[in-house]
Amino acid sequence: METLEFIIYPDGRVQEKVTGIVGASCAEVTAAIEAQLGIVLSNEPTSEFFNAQVQQSSLANTQVTFSDW
């Protein structure tokens, strides 16, 4: 499940935490929100950022040989 958590402090700072999104695509998800909030002062990627998205293929290559007895 993808979640975005925002903590807004009394001095106006906003802390954003993104979970459930693998890889750098979290930047795409949050770009519009960050543009409305203001200047990003720091960015700390989580372990999910460094995970590679795994894609499984259902294709199988098979080779059949028949003997000539």
- Domain-wise residue ranges, the chain: 3-50
What's the pTM?
A: 0.59
Dihedral sign, CA of 16, 10, 35, 38?
A: negative
The DSSP code for 15 is E
pLDDT digits (tens, 9 = 90+) for 4-61: 888 888 988 888 888 888 887 888 888 888 888 888 888 888 888 777 655 555 555 6
